[in-house]
Amino acid sequence: MPPHGDPAALHAPEKNTARTMHETTPPRYRPLKFGVTRATLRDGAPDTHYLRADQDLPPFAERITDRLVHWANERPDQTLFAQRVKNADGSTGDWRHISFAQALDAARRIGQALLDRGLSAERPVLILSENDLDHALLALGCLYAGVAYCPTSPPYSLISQDFDKLHHVVKTLTPGLVFANDAQRYSRAILATLGQEVEVVTRTGAVPGRSTTAFATLLGTEPTLAVDAAMQATGPDTITKFLFTSGSTKMPKAVINTQRMWCANQQQMVESMPVLADGPLVLVDWLPWNHTFGGNHNFGMVIYHGGTLYIDDGKPTPALMAETLRNLREIAPTVYFNVPTGFEAIANAMKADTPLRQTLLSRVKMFFYAGAALAQPVWDSLFESAEREIGQRVVMSTGLGMTESGPFGIFVTSPNVKAGDLGLPTPGLELKLVDVEGKTEVRYKGPNITPGYWRMPAETDEAFDEEGFFKTGDAVKWIDETDIHLGLKFDGRIAEDFKLATGTFVSVGPLRARIIAAGAPYIQDVVLTGINLKEVGAMVFPTAAVRQLSGLTADASLHDVLNSPQVLAHFQRVVNELARTATGSANRIARLCLLADPPTIDRGEITDKGSINQRAVLAHRADTVAQLHSDALHAILKPQP
């Protein structure tokens, strides 16, 4: 590991890869303070080192409901949540607002109704449906009453055909109450997975052959002193919720989330990102609450800091992105979070959409991406639009975390962030850097780390090492080996890496990022092949933009699109360029194919946040892998001189 380095190096100018060749002055950024810029490194056992911020974590709230009560007293009329009203035809209309005072009143009423039903962590509330105002109020009611809840992935109910993962969720949690906003949409899943003893609550519609409770009944419950006493009885060890992992290689695990985890992590976030407490906080956000990014990081943020969350019914998909753009033309966030595909769509739209640029960039102080790699052309486009509109760039920040860490763990330390940079640990979180199979695994210990997996003691024991550090499976490197204060960068997932027949290791994460960048904007994701073989191959999931590239009509089949001369020529150039810049067999793509069938959640090929699962795709598409490496596929692209 490197020495501590020269402290002055932290303030030295750093080359930014997004700058154009003709620039002679450093780019100007909208001012943004970084809370952690220095770290302390200590040695442990051989090949083991410990890294932490050089500042302590200040005291934090014992429960997030204390913050709800605080803001309901301080800012009773301020909007906490807002969402557009859904019209009968499926469109959306004006915003419906819920103030902090209204949210606290609803939380007490719903909390009383849950107490009356004897619900608890042993019989929690399971939420099947998407982000909406009822979902938010039900979550607050659970928090107030000290009743654990679990927002689960809507695709488990709406897309899955066998409901295998939903069966697993129900069996693991044994819920006492299940909520789905629209009974008709969720009736198949409810009838297939829930016994008659489980109460079903809905906002609209009916489940055939089954009685349901109206959500209005919960809201109509008169609160008593018992619900306030229940809230006061909660504390740092109270379970707030269960969040299931993606179930990429096995069935999903229920991550226990406690009040301590959530509150500590919110305090850690503001220590690393002081911008969260810098004036009124406004979010416009679609990220799903069944995932820790949307459900803990962002949902908790507005409660903790007295902010406002506009629930975005859009999504970074061709069908729903227009709704997100509509919302961002109207509501100006102060910070903005999204996944790379969302930022890609926004970057493309801002080139010609003046109202979008004007509103989105009017007061946003920071962009933040997570979930996958952000391609450099997207980065460059966002910077270009910002410089054209406001004369400055908006810092694009990122970090590293996971469901088991609450999720916030590591955050960048300067505006000069590049793809793959992670930064330094947030205060109160200690990182253990351990050499594993030629890479450095990062492990976590701190107040924001889960106590384990619900009703899975063996998996819990396996997840922690002998010192109590959570084993993330993420690999990291130093950004600069001469200066630890610049922090860490991502080096892939250890479990994804594999060996060729020659014994050479293939580092999947960095190579996958190279391929996506080389093929931008036509590669959604890529899976690397070649385990125990002589060469590395690539199976590419293309973006919808390949249709435009092909020049074919909109009704052309995807098979015809992928086999069009224009598309094949583009990817041939990608393969050639990757081969030209390769330094050896471990990072040379020897063969590439395009996949017409998108990855599916049923088979665990993608996670809820849209990132690819390398191992699941390889397992379910073993025939394609074999054909790729035996030249049996119709179109295999190989490097050409």
Beta bridge partner(s), residue 506: 498
Q: State the Cα–Cα distance between residues 115 and 241, nearest whole angstrom.
A: 16
Q: State the Cα–Cα distance between residues 635 and 592, nearest whole angstrom.
A: 9
Which of 476, 492, 508 is the endpoint of a domain?
492
Residues of the chain with pLDDT under 70: 1-24, 247-249, 601-602, 607-611
Say yes or no: 99 and 230 in one domain.
yes
pLDDT at 340: 83
Beta bridge partner(s), residue 443: 432, 471
Q: State the Cα–Cα distance between residues 392 and 238, nearest whole angstrom.
A: 45
List CB contacts of 461: < 8 A, sequence separation 6 or more. Answer: none
Domain carrying residue 479: 21-59+402-492
Beta bridge partner(s), residue 255: 243, 453
Say yes or no: 530 and 613 in one domain.
yes
Q: State the Cα–Cα distance between residues 293 and 299, nearest whole angstrom.
A: 9
Taking residue 630's Cβ as centre, other Cβ atoms within 10 Å add up to 9
Mapped onto helix, strand or coil, the DSSP state of residue 240 is strand
Which of 234, 265, 286 is the endpoint of a domain?
234
Burial 305-344 (b: 16+ CB within 10 A, else e): bbbbbbbbbbbbeeeebebbbbbbbebbbbbbbbbbbbbb
Say yes or no: 416 and 501 in one domain.
no
Cis amide bond preceding 521, omega within 30: yes
pTM, 2 dp: 0.86
Say yes or no: 533 and 453 in one domain.
no
Position 247 in a domain: no
Amino acid in the structure at residue 287: L
Position 262 in a domain: no
For residue 599, the domain's CATH number is: 3.30.300.30
Position 115 in a domain: yes
CA 409 to chain centre: 13
Say yes or no: 465 and 530 in one domain.
no
For residue 148, the domain's CATH number is: 3.40.50.980
Strands (E), 488-621: 488-493, 498-499, 505-506, 523-529, 536-542, 589-594
Beta bridge partner(s), residue 442: 433
Q: What is the DSSP string of 110-171?
A: HHHHHHHTT--SSS-EEE-S-S-HHHHHHHHHHHHHT--EEE--THHHHT-SS-HHHHHHHH
Say yes or no: 480 and 505 in one domain.
no
Say yes or no: 443 and 574 in one domain.
no
Position 428 in a domain: yes
Q: State the Cα–Cα distance between residues 221 and 212, nearest whole angstrom.
A: 16
The torsion angles phi and psi of 26, rounded to 5 degrees, stand at -60, 150
Alpha helix ranges (H) inside 469-613:
508-519, 546-550, 558-562, 565-581
Q: State the Cα–Cα distance between residues 614 and 619, nearest whole angstrom.
A: 9
Residue 195 to residues 164, 175, 202, 299, 308: CA-CA distances in angstroms?
16, 10, 16, 31, 38
Say yes or no: 27 and 138 in one domain.
no
Beta bridge partner(s), residue 81: 98, 309
Q: Note whether 309 and 331 are within 8 A (CB).
A: no
Say yes or no: 624 and 505 in one domain.
yes
Q: State the Cα–Cα distance between residues 77 and 168, nearest whole angstrom.
A: 41
For residue 432, the domain's CATH number is: 2.30.38.10
pLDDT at 392: 96
pLDDT at 10: 26
Q: State the Cα–Cα distance between residues 302 and 294, nearest whole angstrom.
A: 11
DSSP percent split of the chain into helix, strand, coil, nearest 5: 35, 25, 40
Q: Is the dihedral of CA 33, 35, 39, 40 positive or negative?
A: positive
Record the tokens describing residue 123, joined without a space.
């019989």
Record the tokens describing residue 553, joined without a space.
């009509």
Q: Note whether 127 and 179 are within 8 A (CB).
A: yes
Q: Note whether 477 and 492 are within 8 A (CB).
A: no
Radius of gyration of the chain, Cα coordinates, nearest whole angstrom: 25
Mapped onto helix, strand or coil, the DSSP state of residue 260 is helix
List CB contacts of 620: < 8 A, sequence separation 6 or more. Answer: 603, 605
Position 108 in a domain: yes
Taking residue 196's Cβ as centre, other Cβ atoms within 10 Å add up to 9
The torsion angles phi and psi of 573, rounded to 5 degrees, stand at -65, -35
Q: Is the dihedral of CA 303, 309, 313, 314 positive or negative?
A: negative
Taking residue 296's Cβ as centre, other Cβ atoms within 10 Å add up to 27
List CB contacts of 476: < 8 A, sequence separation 6 or more. Answer: 400, 422, 433, 440, 441, 442, 488, 489, 490, 491
Q: State the Cα–Cα distance between residues 233 and 96, nearest whole angstrom.
A: 33
Position 277 in a domain: no
pLDDT at 610: 57
Q: Is the dihedral of CA 185, 188, 193, 194 positive or negative?
A: positive
Residues in the chain: 641
Say how many domains are in the chain: 3
Q: Is 14 left (phi over 0), alpha (psi -120 to 50) or beta?
A: beta
CA 423 to chain centre: 18
Which of 460, 492, 524 is the endpoint of a domain?
492
pLDDT at 547: 92
Say yes or no: 202 and 125 in one domain.
yes
Say yes or no: 178 and 194 in one domain.
yes
User: Number of C-alpha atoms within 13 angstroms, CB side, residue 537?
Assistant: 24
Using alpha carbons only, what angle is made at residue 336 by residues 402 and 344, rounded to the nearest 5 degrees? 85
In terms of C-beta density within 10 A (0-12 exposed, 13-18 middle, 19 or more buried), how is residue 545 classed? Answer: middle
Position 180 in a domain: yes
Say yes or no: 487 and 517 in one domain.
no
pLDDT at 614: 87
Mapped onto helix, strand or coil, the DSSP state of residue 405 is helix
Beta bridge partner(s), residue 32: none
Position 386 in a domain: no
Q: Note whether 476 and 424 are within 8 A (CB).
A: no
DSSP letter assigned to residue 207: B
Beta bridge partner(s), residue 526: 540
